[in-house]
Amino acid sequence: MKHKEIRSIAGEDNPDMRAVQEQVRRFAEGLGCRYTWAPGAVGGENIDLAGAGALIVDGDEINMRLTDCSEAGVKVVVRRTGGWREGDLQRALSLGIRLAAVPENGEAEMAEMALSLILALRRKVIRHHQQVMEGQWIRHAASSVTGSTIGILGLENGGGKLAQMMEAMGCRVLVWQPDPENAEADSRFSAELEALCREADIVSVHLSYNQAGKQIVSKELIGWMKRTAVLISMGDGRLVDTEALYAALKEKRIEAAALDTLERTVIEGENPFRTLRNVILTPGIGRFTREELVRSGCEAVHIAFKLLSESDGFNTK
């Protein structure tokens, strides 16, 4: 193979990711190619592409400069997370670059993350932790998850797996899909959106923006929820009206919320949620487990290796 080197700029430089990348590197070497990792090049800037036949990127590198890749002789670019836009595909084709993406997985990890947030909110784990760290010994009456009613909006992003987990815990499960005719939900769980929100102790959002087509968690939807209910967001951050949610949390119109999908700009900028004690914010870590990172990293390498081999006339079967 003429180009044996696969270069990755996916992920951030920290001890956990370095351990993941070591496993991916060993996998790549087992295929007979060289693998190097240069994290932190968000936006595709300051990338050393010399000698690389394939490049692996994350979702944050969507604006990676394809012209630079073409000039450096890069033949393949693989996204470890997310997919490519049609414009990127057409531009890459004109430059002689093949684009590919790792099939999205991690449904179990997303459901597991949602469940951990549900337990933390219903049992008031964060609140108790904060008060103990402040030297206070206060025990608040928490709510049990077992036997509660959960409303799940959408079955993707771990929604289907979460429905199975919650049913196993003895919960009543309600599911709403924006397109019920094409939904794969168990008909036992199907519910109208307003009825679901009014009855649920927990509302967990797992929709993608493409599936929903609009903002779902609105002031009206929050108004349907019980005062004792909690909201979990594992879907697209654009689905949540953050101003309406902030007001509801501040005024205790719902008990608590956990958001794993806020836009990066909200976390980095002026964030009124920081003043609240009834909210948990996490930076999109639903699928971010060591196991899933190793799997997707190795899959990205395998895809890159296969496409490079095909372009050089090798049979990888």
Separation of alpha carbons 295 and 301, rounded Å? 10
Q: What's the pLDDT at 181?
A: 61
Please say whether the beta carbons of 120 and 277 come within 8 A: no
Q: What's the pLDDT at 315?
A: 43
Quick check: 317 pLDDT over 60? no
Q: What's the pLDDT at 200?
A: 98
Percent share of the chain, pLDDT over 90: 63
Give the chain's mean pLDDT.
Answer: 88
Please say whether the beta carbons of 10 and 64 come within 8 A: no
**pLDDT, mean of residues 103-129:** 94
Q: Tens digits of per-residue pLDDT, 42-66?
A: 555 567 788 899 999 986 555 567 8
| Domains of the chain and any CATH numbers | 5-105+289-311 (3.40.50.720), 107-281 (3.40.50.720)
Separation of alpha carbons 286 and 295, rounded Å? 15
Q: What's the pLDDT at 312?
A: 67
